[in-house]
Amino acid sequence: MRASFVFSEVITGLRRNVTMTIAMILTTAISLGLLGGGLLVVRLIDRMQTVYYDKTSVSVYMTNDISANDKDCSQQLCSSLWNALRSTSGVDTVTFENRDKSYERFKEMFAAQPEMLKVVRPEGLPASFRIKLTDPQRSDVIVQAFTGKAGVKAVDDGRQVLTKLFDLFGGVRNAAFVIALLQAFAALLLISNTIQVSAYTRRTEVGIMRLVGATRWYTQLPFLIEAVVAGLIGAVLSVGLLLGAKTFFLDKMLDAPIQAGIVPQLGKLDVLMVSPWLFLTAIVISVTTGYVTLRLYVRL
């Protein structure tokens, strides 16, 4: 196999239908960019989950009776609950917060809204246990074990609010994947079409190649490499697209929440970590599409 020959055929092929090639590259770039975006959202969600779940805790609220009469959880019902919580597997720490403390915390939280403070009396707030888990994902164990127990008014899984938030992110990610998939389909059709056009414009060459006994590899490889080269250029563009979107759009948009520590920052490293997958996808898609097209639609 003469590499220089195949290489020059590839260059000729790409130059000869330059508009199709550009369309193919751009479509591939957009579809890979969306795929990369989806993958970045996945990374973001993972990181946010660790950050947020570390901050969340499960709260077990006591009945009014305990809240009113047992300020330090020394009575039998409360302390047995405390012990039971501490001995539950997966529980890291358990802290007791009596009614007064709850009210103080409430006052801190709503210091800016005095009208709330007017409405709420300490008697309305229950005492509670705040439970930190070694694995925040397993909060439902606590919820199941302690809901409805004697002395327990309610169990609040702090994770639930976050779950809704992450569901939203998951939706964004899925939408990105679906659009990426549709775009990938368009890219696939374009690759297939470009190869067919390319084969048609070179039918004389290919006819002669077959006639003088060139092997299938020799006749088909230039077309395949053409598709792969276009795919790889598309992948490079998509990485550029992601870096651009990150630097000029995402970083600016999310500047305040990032500074506040609400949203973790996506680094250039994240984009680079995602990019091998984009390159791999580009190669796999272009090779398979190219091969199938040559087998089914082009008689070489």
Question: Which lies closer to another protein via its Cβ, residue 83 or residue 215?
Answer: 215
Least distance (Å) from another protein to the CB of residue 220? 12
Query: Strand, coil or helix: what is 72?
Result: coil
Least distance (Å) from another protein to the CB of residue 1? 6
Question: Which lies closer to another protein via its Cβ, residue 14 or residue 155?
Answer: 14
- Would you state the structure tokens that stand for residue 165, as one six-digit string? 């938030």
Question: Which lies closer to another protein via its Cβ, residue 208 or residue 253?
Answer: 208
Largest CA distance in the chain: 100
Binding site for another protein (CB under 8 A): 1-2, 5, 204-205, 207-216, 218-219
Kindly tell me the burial class for residue 136, based on how many C-beta atoms sit within 10 Å of its own C-beta (0-12, 13-18, 19 or more). buried
Least distance (Å) from another protein to the CB of residue 222? 10
Least distance (Å) from another protein to the CB of residue 192? 23
Least distance (Å) from another protein to the CB of residue 209? 5
Q: Under a CB-based contact definition with an 8 Å cutoff, are residues 122 and 103 in contact?
A: yes
Q: Give the span between the Cα atoms of 274 and 90, in whole angstroms.
A: 33
- 139-158 burial by CB neighbour count: b if 16+ within 10 A, else e? bebbbeebeeeebbbebebb
Q: What are phi and psi of 97, to 5 degrees?
A: -130, 110
Question: Which lies closer to another protein via its Cβ, residue 76 or residue 204?
Answer: 204
What is the signed CA dihedral for 119, 124, 128, 130, rounded to 10 degrees?
Answer: -20
Question: Which lies closer to another protein via its Cβ, residue 152 or residue 209?
Answer: 209
Question: Which lies closer to another protein via its Cβ, residue 114 or residue 213?
Answer: 213
Q: How many CB atoms lie within 10 A of CB 234?
A: 29
Q: Under a CB-based contact definition with an 8 Å cutoff, are residues 134 and 91 in contact?
A: yes
Least distance (Å) from another protein to the CB of residue 34? 39
